[in-house]
Amino acid sequence: KQEVTQIPAALSVPEGENLVLNCSFTDSAIYNLQWFRQDPGKGLTSLLLIQSSQREQTSGRLNASLDKSSGRSTLYIAASQPGDSATYLCAVVPFTGGGNKLTFGTGTQLKVEL
């Protein structure tokens, strides 16, 4: 059974700091990995998707890497801003079985302070 863990559970940083969020998964047979952000009481916003054959994806100040063999992904946020404050979730889709079933991590609650 796939298990996805995110460390740390919560993080508070001053504005402008570069930071790294970690995601680990137990079964490396994944189709892709997706990073989301969730604002309080809201739905999920897709940030980046990495296919199993890729090593990293970049979008603006965000960079996500994937090391399938070690079961790890990191989300790097450069020059953090107060607007980045949210909960960040990673999720994987299994390689077998077809479909789009996402198994989510426990999330990292990020607070960027002025």
Partner 1 sequence: KAGVTQTPRYLIKTRGQQVTLSCSPISGHRSVSWYQQTPGQGLQFLFEYFSETQRNKGNFPGRFSGRQFSNSRSEMNVSTLELGDSALYLCASSSDSPKNIQYFGAGTRLSVL
Q: Which residues bind partner 1 (CB under 8 A)?
A: 31-32, 34, 36, 41-46, 49, 51, 89, 91, 93, 97-104, 106-107
Nearer to partner 1, 54 or 85 (CB): 54
Nearer to partner 1, 30 or 80 (CB): 30
| Min separation Cβ 44 and partner 1, Å | 4
| Min separation Cβ 10 and partner 1, Å | 14
| Min separation Cβ 16 and partner 1, Å | 30
Query: On the CB side of 27, how many CA atoms lie within 13 Å of its CA?
Result: 14
Other CB atoms closer than 10 Å to residue 72's CB: what's the count? 15
Nearer to partner 1, 71 or 107 (CB): 107
Class of residue 18 by CB neighbours under 10 A (exposed 0-12, middle 13-18, buried 19+) = exposed
Strand stretches in the chain, DSSP E = 4-7, 10-14, 19-25, 30-38, 44-51, 56-59, 62-67, 72-77, 86-94, 103-104, 108-113
Nearer to partner 1, 4 or 77 (CB): 4
